């Protein structure tokens, strides 16, 4: 039987004073009105600006639950005024505006609500990771309840031995770190369940951030962890690149009852 797990979010301090206060700590980039939902994580504003929701990712195009995620976002904000809050980079690599979003009238945090519904998954980046702890907590609750996309096998948390070099896109993997190997300027987490298969690599520039977050990579050996990011193939081996601590959740084993 799979162990019950309790997440210890490495860099995700959870705001005990409430999500509204956490959002208020982010600088406002102004207000706008929503014309339409383009996808489950992308809005078109009435001034023609494309706005990408920060910290989350919805299913792409014709993937399972993509239409439902888009509809969920539209129900929350279409035709309404929103406030844009900056927690990192102001634009994504495609030039789209990037922000945490709050619906003005109800003061509802949109990323948090989508995560609660299971319409999106958490996906942070090194230059945009505000509210990661709160987002991971909302995702965990939806996943445990099997809400939204979590009811689809395509989005289930994978075991290391189930990940192959052909896998692409956001992947969430859970397993035991067997050892941490230094390979030039990177540290590689090798997993007990797939010693010659799936691995996660951490570049040198991320080591200090992880240590400050209370989880130096070398201390992950022997730990049960959940990691997330895009899988790529390196010399025929599936590799997940970890460049900021919010991509790692350290999990605690409990005896199954």
Residues 8 and 88 in one domain: yes
Angle made by CA atoms 219, 166, 198, in degrees to the nearest 5 = 20
Q: Which of 116, 151, 186 is the last residue of a domain?
A: 151
State the CATH number of the domain containing residue 187.
2.40.50.140
* Domain's final residue, options 110, 134, 151: 151
The answer, yes or no, to whether residue 81 has pLDDT greater than 90, is yes
29: left (phi over 0), alpha (psi -120 to 50) or beta: alpha
Q: Quick one: 199 and 145 in the same domain?
A: no
| Shared-domain flag, residues 133 and 19 | yes
Residue 257 confidence (pLDDT) above 50: no
* Average confidence (pLDDT) over 164-179: 94
What mean pLDDT comes out for the span 5-13? 40
Is 138 found in the same domain as 104? yes
Query: How confident is the model at residue 18, as a pLDDT?
Result: 53
Q: State the Cα–Cα distance between residues 170 and 230, nearest whole angstrom.
A: 5
How remote is the C-alpha of 55 from its chain's centroid? 6
The pLDDT of residue 113: 98
The parent domain of residue 225 ranges over 157-254
Q: Is the pTM of this model over 0.75?
A: yes
Residue 197 and residue 214 in one domain: yes
Tell me the per-residue pLDDT of 30-79, one tens digit each, with 9 for 90 and over: 999 999 999 999 999 999 999 999 999 999 999 999 999 999 999 999 99
Q: For residue 213, what pLDDT is reported? A: 87
**Same domain assignment for residues 137 and 117:** yes
Residue 142 shares a structural domain with residue 189: no
Q: Are residue 144 and residue 61 in the same domain, yes or no?
A: yes
Q: What is the mean pLDDT of residues 168-190?
A: 95
Domain count, the chain: 2
pLDDT for residue 22 is more than 90: no
**CATH number where 9 lies:** 2.40.50.90
Joined together, the tokens standing for residue 171 give 């992947």
Average predicted confidence (pLDDT) for the chain: 90
**From CA 250, how far away is CA 6, in angstroms rounded?**
9
Residues 163 and 81 in one domain: no
**Domain match, 9 and 119 both:** yes
Same domain membership, residue 114 and residue 23:
yes
Cα 99-70-91 angle, rounded to 5 deg: 20
Of 91, 119, 151, at which residue does a domain stop? 151
Q: What pLDDT sits at residue 15? A: 40
Q: What is the pLDDT of residue 7?
A: 40
Q: Are residues 49 and 75 in the same domain?
A: yes
């Amino acid at each position: 039987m799979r162990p019950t797990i309790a997440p210890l979010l490495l860099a995700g301090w959870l705001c005990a004073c409430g999500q509204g206060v956490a959002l208020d700590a982010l600088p406002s980039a102004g207000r706008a009105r929503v014309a339409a939902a383009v996808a489950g994580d992308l809005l078109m504003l009435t001034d023609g600006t494309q706005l990408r929701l920060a910290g989350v990712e919805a299913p792409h195009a014709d993937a399972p639950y993509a239409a439902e995620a888009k509809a969920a976002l539209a129900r929350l904000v279409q035709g309404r005024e929103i406030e844009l809050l900056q927690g990192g980079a102001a634009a994504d690599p495609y030039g789209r505006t990037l922000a945490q979003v709050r619906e003005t009238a109800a003061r509802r945090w949109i990323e948090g609500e989508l995560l609660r519904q299971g319409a999106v998954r958490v996906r942070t980046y090194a230059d945009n990771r505000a509210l990661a702890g709160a987002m991971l907590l909302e995702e965990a609750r939806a996943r445990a309840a099997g809400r939204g996309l979590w009811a689809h096998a395509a989005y289930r948390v994978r075991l290391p031995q189930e990940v192959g070099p052909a896998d692409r896109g956001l992947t969430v993997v859970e397993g035991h770190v067997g050892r941490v190997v230094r390979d030039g300027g990177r540290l590689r987490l090798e997993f007990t369940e797939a010693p010659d298969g799936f691995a996660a690599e951490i570049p040198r520039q991320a080591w200090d951030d992880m240590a400050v977050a209370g989880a130096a990579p070398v201390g992950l050996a022997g730990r049960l962890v959940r990691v997330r990011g895009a899988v790529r193939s390196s010399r025929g081996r599936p590799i997940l690149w970890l460049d900021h601590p919010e991509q790692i959740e350290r999990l605690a084993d409990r005896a199954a009852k």
